[in-house]
Amino acid sequence: MKKIILSGIFALVLLMTGCTDRPVVPAQLPQQITAFIQQNFPGQTISFATKDLEITGWQYDVLLADGTQIDFDTDKMWDKIQCTMSNPVPTALIPAPIATHLQTNFPDAMVLKIDKDRNGYEVELANGLELKFNQQGALMEVDD
């Protein structure tokens, strides 16, 4: 009986701490995610993927062969994209107002990371600057 209670507590702790990541073979990824990768990262192969059970459903994290990491939310939409110097974030994935601001103010800077949340977007440039934009794409903060 004591082992059953301890096992239950251990399982609950694992669930609460988010240790529910499960490896997924690329063929088991949702079609929406594989289509996104094929369209925006052509020629890249998936090296590793995991799915994580959240209260609202499954989230997926994908690592591409070139080192690009893409996190997908429970709606299977990208949530965070982190790229490398050799393959920056594709311009098509950057919201238009943010892309315009970057082109105007940082024309030579590459976007290495874009992270979206309910308040807006955080963009990391290759020059080390981190920019925060609201949902409408207005610059809210610059951090170096």
Domains of the chain, with CATH numbers?
22-143 (3.40.1420.30)
Q: What is the pLDDT of residue 12?
A: 47
49: left (phi over 0), alpha (psi -120 to 50) or beta: beta
Q: What is the pLDDT of residue 21?
A: 86
Query: Which residues, other chains included, contact 38 with Cβ-Cβ below 8 Å and sequence gap of 6+?
Result: none
Q: What is the pLDDT of residue 9?
A: 52
- The pTM of this model reads 0.84
Q: What is the pLDDT of residue 11?
A: 46
Quote the CA–CA distance of 19 and 10 in Å, as a whole number: 11
Q: What is the pLDDT of residue 6?
A: 42
Quote the CA–CA distance of 8 and 60 in Å, as a whole number: 26
The answer to whether residues 122 and 130 touch, using CB atoms and an 8 Å cutoff, is: yes
Q: State the DSSP code for 76.
A: S
Distances (CA, A) of 91 to 94, 98, 109: 5, 10, 12
Quote the CA–CA distance of 13 and 78 in Å, as a whole number: 28
| CA dihedral angle for residue 142, residue 86, residue 41, residue 111, rounded to 10 degrees | 10
Quote the CA–CA distance of 60 and 79 in Å, as a whole number: 10
**pLDDT per residue of the chain (144 residues) written in tens, 0 to 9:** 544 554 445 444 445 545 578 999 999 999 999 999 999 999 999 999 999 999 989 999 999 999 999 999 999 999 999 999 999 999 999 999 999 999 999 999 999 999 999 999 999 999 999 999 999 999 999 998
Quote the CA–CA distance of 66 and 47 in Å, as a whole number: 9
